[in-house]
Structure 1
Amino acid sequence: MEVPRRRFLQLAVSTVVIPAADPAEAQDWPHRVVRVVVGLPAGGGADAVARILANRLSEMWHQQVIVENRSGASGTLAYDAVAHAAPDGYTILLAARAPQLNQLLFSSINHNAADFAPVTLIGKFPYLLVVPASSPVKSLQEFISLARANPGKLTFASTGIGTLPHLAGELLKRAVGIEMTHVPYRGVAAGAMNDLVAGRVDAMFNALASLLQPVRTGQVRALAVTTAERFPAVHELPTFAECGVPGFDVASWYAFYLPARTPPEIIKKIQADTATALIDPAVRVKFEPLGTALIGSMPDQLADTARADAERFGPIIKALNITGE
């Protein structure tokens, strides 16, 4: 859900409950270029989020804020770069996954959650469960019934092993006691959508932004949205809970993190200025095509969100021995 304007203003001026520091540390910050590091390629959703905010923060700070794409190793190269950067506020991570999940999915990374200081949530977006337009399935309840009648025969596509669309499918299997076969792709453009439309796979979990146009044009049929509440951009779609799967809540989010040991005053400034940017009408308009609800947060709320994701998905990752690609 989107946070009202008044709440955003409160976030922008609230005091962060973190140890006190010399205010002079933040008064002169920034006095050189700030980098926002993104673990995904240019042109994608995360890149767009980073560039929208980088442009607005550049104007606010009167300093250049550049976006640096460090794709590869499932985005963990970006986390590594920020974890080992100087804790001076000049290297910011645009995260699209809780650092704790990296520890669960990848054995060879050179960072852990303690290497990061949470700053603020930026926005969240849901996933949709979709089926081919030619499928006889018209609702989530019908999909679950079909899976129960054909254990292990239904297939669901995702954007890769260990991604949230994959974990959403595994969570559904556990929640309602069904068996499905996972078919991982390296992104929607790598054949997933073509195979879904053609009926070569039975269903797919993927991000709203990627599926909204195919749903609107009738190429695929959306059954439900994965968030706990209906999502504004597709308010006509029911939630999994409304379809008889209580407690089902899967959403991705974007957030800013800094290296651990960054001075608290700098964390406060970046959080407050980001909250101010997120209520700018010009910024909000640019976010609309991304299917992302702007939310903002205090650092402790981001920390709680990341921890909750690890607690929700950790048991599934361990039980199925899922290893990220």
Structure 2
Amino acid sequence: MNIATLTVVVTLYGPGAARSQAAAEYPSRPVTIIVPAPPGGLADGLARALAAPLAKALKQAVVVDNKPGAAGVLATGFVAKAAPDGHTLLLSGDAHPVSGMLYKLPYDPIKDFVAVAPLATWPLVLIAAPGLDARTVPELVTLAKAKPGRLTVASTGTGSSSQLAAEVFKAT
């Protein structure tokens, strides 16, 4: 597996968005994009970059509301409880469909949401500290086998593509 070719697709989710009965009147009030991450990160930046052109196209205000915590479960739960009218959207990524396999959730990440639009992709990148005695992936594998349990890895969170890729890398 070539980890560098893995990508993350960020998607907006809205409960019942495709079944909205008020489609002719949509949006009848400001639209809120819920971001399950703190301000200043990639997801927040993407939501804010999307908000202005979306507001112009919809002729309605679009607000970005960050609700970080619990690996996205807090924000996703908030959106799952929102009225299914398309006015509350979730900016979510690769961890959304996987979360149901990792956690006991108060919602079904597949059945309770409708994918609205793919927004962005970006590659995963494997990097190491400059002082590490590995400059290539084969050298890193050799080093990891020589020092079992001594290397660490960081990811963007449990269930994210970076965490799952690290687990696959570890298993090979």
Task: Tell me whether the two structures share a fold, i.e. TM-score over 0.5.
Answer: yes
Question: Is the 8 Å Cα contact of residues 95 and 161 (structure 2) preserved in structure 1?
Answer: no
* Deviation sequence 1:206-256 (CA, Å, 0-9, x none): xxxxxxxxxxxxxxxxxxxxxxxxxxxxxxxxxxxxxxxxxxxxxxxxxxx
Are 1:171 and 2:171 counterparts?
Answer: no
Indicate conservation of the 8 Å contact 2:55/2:62, yes or no.
yes
User: What is the distance in 2 between the residues matched to 1:87 and 1:110?
Assistant: 16
Aligned with residue 67 of structure 1, among 64, 68, 72: 64
**In the alignment, residue 125 of structure 2 is paired with which amino acid?**
L
Using the alignment, how far apart are the partners of 1:130 and 1:76 within structure 2?
28
Q: Which has the larger radius of gyration?
A: 1
2:153 paired residue number = 156
Q: Which runs of 5 or more residues in structure 2 are unaligned?
A: 6-17
Secondary structure of 1:129 counterpart = coil
**In structure 2, C-alpha distance between the alignment counterparts of 1:149 and 1:65, rounded to whole Å:** 53
Q: 1:159 to 1:51 in 2, by over 3 A?
A: closer
* Unaligned segments of structure 1, at least 5 residues: 2-19, 177-325
Letter in 1 for 2:74: L
Q: 1:159 to 1:60 in 2, by over 3 A?
A: closer
Instruction: Compute the displacement of 1:96 (Å).
Output: 2.1
Q: 1:158 to 1:29 in 2, by over 3 A?
A: closer
Judged with a 3 Å threshold, the aligned counterparts in structure 2 of structure 1 residues 66 and 21 are, in CA distance, closer, same or farther, namely closer
Q: Does 1:102 align with 2:99?
A: yes
Equivalent of residue 112 in structure 1, options 97, 105, 108: 108
Task: Work out which of the residue numbers 117, 123, 126 in structure 2 matches 1:126.
Answer: 123
Residues 142-153 of structure 1 mapped to structure 2, 5 A cutoff: 142-153=139-150
CA distance in structure 2 between the aligned counterparts of 1:26 and 1:98, rounded to whole angstroms: 29
Equivalent residue for 2:43, pick from 33, 46, 50: 46
Q: Deviations over 1:272-301 (max 9, x none)?
A: xxxxxxxxxxxxxxxxxxxxxxxxxxxxxx
Range moving further from structure 2, 138-147 or 162-171: 162-171
The structure richer in helix per residue is: 1
Indicate the SS of the match to 1:171.
helix
Which amino acid is the alignment partner of residue 131 of structure 1?
Answer: A
How far residue 51 of structure 1 moved from its aligned partner, in angstroms, is 1.0
- SS of 2:128's equivalent in the other structure is strand
Aligned to 1:35: 32
Aligned to 2:14: none
Q: CA deviation at 1:165?
A: 2.7
Between the aligned partners of 1:88 and 1:101, the Cα distance in structure 2 is 25
Residue 163 of structure 1: CA displacement? 4.1
Instruction: Give, in angstroms, the shift of residue 36 of structure 1.
Output: 0.7
Give how far 1:106 is off.
1.9
Q: Is contact 1:50-1:94 (8 Å) kept?
A: yes
Task: After TM superposition, give the deviation of residue 128 of structure 1 in Å.
Answer: 1.4
Q: Distance in 2 between matches of 1:39 and 1:57?
A: 19
Cα 1:52–1:131 change in 2 (3 A) is same
Partner of 1:294: none
How many residues are paired up?
A: 155
CA distance in structure 2 between the aligned counterparts of 1:158 and 1:47, rounded to whole angstroms: 18
